[in-house]
Structure 1
Amino acid sequence: MTAAEYALIAGVIFLAACLQASSGFGMGMLAAPVIAIVDPALLPATLILLALLVTVLVTVRERQHLDLRGTGWALVGRIPGSFLGAWLVAVLSREGLAWAVVAVVLTGLVLAGRGWAPRPVRANLIAAGAASGIMGTATSIGGPPMALVWQGHEGPRMRGTMSAFFMVGSTISMAMLWMAGAVTAEMLTLALWMVPAVVGGYAASRFVNRFLNPARLKALAIGASALGSVLLIVQLVL
């Protein structure tokens, strides 16, 4: 990659980490389309590793607000979903993976825009966990299903609960991808170079949280994700 491409990825990772640490989700929806434009081969492992770092930091910060029961039931679905997601990575081409990213992001945007809000009962948590496992492992975008089912939580509780779920879920996804041979040295190297951008985004979220209410955060995530998807679609078509 060129220096400009490294700078572009670092910038979007900074913003995505800030969004993730502020809202509990959105890192993949914002960053995955941009990374796919630069090089789809870097997905999904690079972004999952970076998201894992963010979720560890946020889980520690919001540890007093966790919904451990809900997280446990969601993880029941996440494990089998991760197996299927790893299989999809193994069989999809680079272009196929890029189109999968577009499909997942646009589906999340439609559901968010329609305001669908399933109750966080056991069956819904397991189903959302499974969907998150498939989507998160295959495309690095596992947030939309969990955001839908947990959207009724207050800010700290939502951030902490989702971060705890994704901390464990991302570890499972990385293990599945490693077993499937879908983790390369290039992915690990890029993830290491992007650590300062992640830490900077996390630090910035402490200030952002003071000014952005949930409605503004949701609008920011939807707008940024839509823009990234449009750019990726244009590149794929052309």
Structure 2
Amino acid sequence: MTFWLLLVAGAIVLLGALVQGTVGFGMNLVAAPLLAIIDPVLVPVPLLLVASVFAVLAMLRERGELDWHGVSWGVVGRVPGTALGVAALALLPPRGLGILIGVAVLVSVGLSLLSWSPRPTRPALVTAGVASGTFGTAAALGGPPIALIYQHVHGTKVRPTLGAYFAIGSLLSIVGLSLGGQLGPESLLAALVLFPFALVGFALSGPLRGVLDAGRTRPALLMVATVGAVVLLLQAAM
């Protein structure tokens, strides 16, 4: 990869980190499709490694408001959801699967705008965890299901809670990739090169959190979820 392509890739990761650091999720939604165009080597493993460390930073920054109860029940659902995602990849064509997941997210957002007001109750968290594990494994769109459950919660609780959830989920994925022999030196080197850009995005997101916390967290969550679903549908249509 040339120096200029490296800078472009870093800028993409910085933007994704800025979105996730401010909203609570979105790094993979922003960065994965663009990094795959620049150099397929950068996804999924290097981006997953960067995103997992970033999630820990987000969790620690606002850990005082972290909802461990919600995280634990979300992870309970994510485990079988991951297995469902693996099965879906094996049984369904990628294009049809992408369309199905994209439509499901858009329908959820539409219902939220009309009348649906989900709350982080135990059944809702487990259900969202199953959907997150399935969508995340099958199409790297695991953020919206959990984020939608927390759309009516203040941003100071949303960000560290999603950070903890993503950190645990990423760890599970990294262990699986390692056991599968996909965690090689090239992936580690790429992650090390990209991570400083993620740190810059994390630092820049600090002052912007207050903008969303002034009653704008829910619109931001819905917007990022919608953009991710639309990108997935466009990819499936190509």
Q: TM-score, normalised by structure 2?
A: 0.80
Instruction: Compute the displacement of 1:157 (Å).
Output: 0.6
How has the CA–CA distance of structure 1 residues 138 and 179 changed in structure 2, closer, same or farther, with 3 Å as cutoff? Answer: farther
**Counterparts of 1:187 and 1:106 in 2: how far apart (Å)?**
32
How far 1:163 sits from its partner (Å)? Answer: 0.9
Specify the SS of the correspondent of 2:210.
Answer: coil
Unpaired stretches in structure 1, ≥5 consecutive residues: none
In structure 2, distance between residues paired with 1:80 and 1:221: 25
- Tell me if 1:217 matches 2:214: no
Code of the aligned partner of 1:71: V
- In the TM superposition, what are the counterparts of 1:67-216 in structure 2 within 5 Å? 67-85=67-85, 96=94, 104=101, 107-115=104-112, 116-212=116-212, 213-214=216-217
For 1:185 and 1:84, locate their aligned partners in 2 and report how far apart those are by CA, in whole Å. 30
Report the AA paired with residue 68 of structure 1.
W
User: What aligned pairs does 1:41-80 form with structure 2 within 5 A after superposition?
Assistant: 42-80=42-80
Q: Determine helix, strand or coil for the equivalent of 1:118.
A: coil
User: What code does the residue aligned with 2:192 have?
Assistant: L
Amino acid at match of 2:130: A
Tell whether the 8 Å contact from 2:50 to 2:191 is kept in structure 1 after alignment: yes
Query: 162-171 or 38-47, which moves further after superposition?
Result: 38-47
Offset, 1:224 = 5.6
Between the aligned partners of 2:134 and 2:195, the Cα distance in structure 1 is: 25
Match in the other structure for 2:37: 37
The one-letter amino acid paired with 2:55 is T
Q: What amino acid is the match of 2:135?
A: M
Task: Quote how far apart the aligned CAs of 1:33 are.
Answer: 1.8
Give 3-state SS (helix, strand or coil) of 1:141's partner: coil
- Give the letter aligned to residue 5 of structure 2: E
Cα offsets for 1:178-214 (capped at 9, x unmatched): 2233334333222111111111111001111133432
Matched residues, number? 231
Distance in 1 separating the partners of 2:58 and 2:117: 24
Q: Distance in 2 between matches of 1:117 and 1:33?
A: 30
Structure 1 distance, partners of 2:43, 2:139, is 7
Paired residue type of 1:67:
D
Question: Please, which moves more after superposition, 19-28 or 119-128?
Answer: 119-128
Q: Which runs of 5+ in 2 are unaligned?
A: none
Distance 1:164 1:46 in 2: 19
Q: What root-mean-square deviation, in Å, do the aligned CA atoms of Structure 1 and Structure 2 show?
A: 3.1
Contact 1:133–1:173, Cα closer than 8 Å, also in 2: no
- Report the Cα offset of residue 125 of structure 1: 1.0
Cα deviation code 1:141-196 (max 9, x no counterpart): 31011011121211101111111111111111111222233334333222111111
Q: Distance in 2 between the 1:46 and 1:99 partners?
A: 27
Q: TM-score, normalised by structure 1?
A: 0.80
SS at match of 2:158: helix
**Paired residues of 1:9 and 1:35 also in contact (CA < 8 A):** yes
CA 1:182–1:139 in structure 2 vs 1: closer, same or farther (change >3 Å)? farther
